[in-house]
Amino acid sequence: YGFINTCLKSLVVEKYGEETWEKLRLQAGVEDSFLTFEVYKDEITMQLIDKACKILGVPADVVLRQFGEYFFEFCKRSGYDHMLRTLGGNLHEFIENLDALHSYLALSYQASSAEMNAPSFRVEKNGDGSMHLHYYSDRRGLCHIVPGIIGAAALDFFNIDISMEIVNQAEEEERTGKKEHIVFLVTQNPVFSYKERKKLSSSPQYLAESEKQIETQLNKEVLEKADTVRGRGNPICPVKKSHWKKIQGMIALGRGKLLKGFDPVYPKSLWIDPKTFCNGLPFHMVFDKELRVKQAGVSIQKIVPGLQTMGICLDHYFSITHPEVPFTISSIQKFINSQFVFQTRREMMPESWKQRPMLELRGQMIWMEPVQCMLYLCSPLLRTLHELEERQMHIADIAPHDVTRDLILLNQQRLAEMELSNQLERKKEELRILSKHLEEEKKKTEALLYAMLPQHVANQLKEGKRVEAGEFKECTILFSDVVTFTSICAQCEPIQIVLMLNSMYLLFDRLTTVHDVYKVETIGDAYMVVGGVPVPVSSHAERVANFALGMIIAAKGVKNPVSRNPIQIRVGIHTGPVLAGVVGEKMPRYCLFGDTVNIASRMESHGVPSKIHLSSSAYQCLKYKNFEMTERGEIEVKGKGKMHTYFLVRNKTATENEIMGRP
């Protein structure tokens, strides 16, 4: 069930983090979440455990034991704490009733015991206080979970520390199914505090002395109570009796609190006639060692008329579905502490039952030594009103004292609540998936927005704030264009121009990331970037210079669609102050304003093919930065008059691979 896989996910996330779970989930090829009451294939759980062992580098037995310990705590946190605590007053009783718990949970999970396929437990007490725990399961390789669960329960509920070791491991022979049968030796040790342990270790006679002190104190209290009673003139506890006799006398009076002296009282003969017994317990059967029926309740006789013939063999009319043992008296005695489920055989049922689902009975076995017979006290195994109707039975067919009546009605309500819970869980999962998809789409939208505008500007626009224009005292601007672009356009199809520009701009865009410069815009064949805007940096000129060198190299890889030769570009760079801000509301753009933009554009238009043209201000910024530059001299610049300019040749310290951002 999804409950198991959810527990495994919770363990990995809590102990090793979300990233480890995500890695584990992807390697196992499973979904991220599980529905609690949904049935999943065992292979999913086995795959998760296998991948967990590999990723964490931990042996399978260690992972499974840790999972067992965590599973116990997970069950407590999930609302099963009180249910587990009340299974038994000691560890032996706790283990004995685990099968009954699984049988109950089959009701909650809307499944039969076979469908639930839960493991089974049988425990045997040894003379030295240890126990042999028999574990049966269809799922191989999971036995190491058991010490984790049982150990955690023993420590939490009964304050005992236990050790469990496998003493036998074999194919199951006692049951009809081919199941794994593991026998654990369970040894128990009391859990002492540090002070108590220290005291016990330093004083070997501590326990014996403690027992003497307790007995002395008890004798004193008993004698005082006996004197008080005798002083009142009540001769029930004579002086000649020992103090233990006095204790028994006090218990008989109902004034004692020591229950160890309790002995049940039985009548000399049974004060109930056979007719009343069979009517009062309408679903019971008594059979001998040969499985011959000696007695049966009236309701079971009504459903299975063959039982009215005393002496017929019980296994002719019923099969045992749980536990999966052969239908023999010795097998039943071995598993006598388990709940037994009988199912009627279709071929032996009356014609009216042939089309109905077979009736199942669930109850306990009691061996009656004096008469050498087995008593099966049972009730119909019905979970819902629908199952009751399918068998054409009624609430009235079940004895008023039988809690099965209440269980059917309560479980009907519980199943309705569970169905609602399942629907809510499915809706929650759908919302989680939708939310995840929405988050992915949001990231795509933000990535597109951040590609068009600086991130801090985009965030301000998303929040509905007005973006104020910012002044930058110094930045470096670059313009580039394709040489003879007009003549190329005249000789090519439009699609060829688009493909050429796209391949070139993809290379340039990658370089903006390598050198951390901001792409302002592209207009036709013109490409504009800036360094030091929108985030001011002192190295703006070096970044733009390295980017320009990368552009010249990248352009050699783009072919002219007419001549099939590498295209040539002109690059112009200028350094100076600018004003930057967002212009417009529809398709807003982050634009730069100022004379620096104009001069940078003039450097490009007055440049030389495959050369990087620098203004004097750009040259001054790069003069002492390990760049090789040559002087061009004074040239006439449109609208600016004479200007002293330079060419950028190379970076003296950076290789071509470093300029291009190659590994």
Binned average pLDDT, 10 residues per bin, the chain of 663 residues: 79 85 84 72 81 84 88 86 87 86 67 60 86 85 88 90 86 57 84 47 46 49 47 42 50 47 83 92 93 92 86 90 87 86 89 85 93 94 84 86 82 75 81 90 87 82 81 94 91 92 94 93 92 92 96 93 91 95 81 93 94 95 93 90 94 92 87
Distance CA 343, CA 363 (A): 12
Q: What is the pLDDT of residue 172?
A: 55
Find, among 654, 577, 576, 579, the residue nearest to 620 by Cα.
576
Q: What is the pLDDT of residue 33?
A: 75
Distances (CA, A) of 27 to 9, 32, 61, 599: 14, 12, 21, 57
Domain 465-660 CATH (choose: 1.10.10.10, 3.40.50.920, 3.30.70.1230, 3.10.290.10)? 3.30.70.1230
pLDDT for residue 177: 53
Distances (CA, A) of 518 to 68, 159, 283, 537, 589: 56, 67, 86, 12, 13
- pLDDT tens digits for range 180-209: 888 999 998 765 544 444 444 444 444 444
Strand residues in 369-428 grouped as ranges (E): 373-380
Can you give the residue ranges of every domain in the chain? 58-118+142-161, 274-399, 402-452, 465-660
Structural fold of domain 58-118+142-161: H-NOX domain (3.90.1520)
In 478-510, which positions are buried (b, 16+ CB within 10 angstroms) versus exposed (e)?
Answer: bbbbbbebeebbeebeeeebeebbeebeebbee
Distances (CA, A) of 136 to 79, 132, 163, 438: 26, 13, 19, 47
Res 477: pLDDT: 96
Q: What is the reported pLDDT for 10?
A: 85
Q: CA 639 from chain center: how many Å?
A: 71
CB of 555 closer than 8 Å to CB of 504: yes
pLDDT of residue 114: 43
pLDDT tens digit string along 272-301? 999 999 999 999 999 999 999 999 999 999
* Separation of CA 322 from chain center: 31
Residue matched to tokens 């599980």: 34
Closest C-alpha among 663, 629, 466 to residue 542: 629
pLDDT in tens, 326-351: 899 998 998 888 889 999 998 888 88
- How much of the chain exceeds pLDDT 90, in percent? 36
Separation of CA 422 from chain center:
17
Give the CATH number of domain 274-399; options: 3.40.1190.20, 1.10.3720.10, 3.30.450.260, 3.40.50.2300.
Answer: 3.30.450.260
Q: pTM of the predicted model, to two decimals?
A: 0.51
Closest by Cα among 169, 90, 170, 92 to 130: 92
The strand ranges marked E within 389-546 are 470-482, 518-523, 526-531
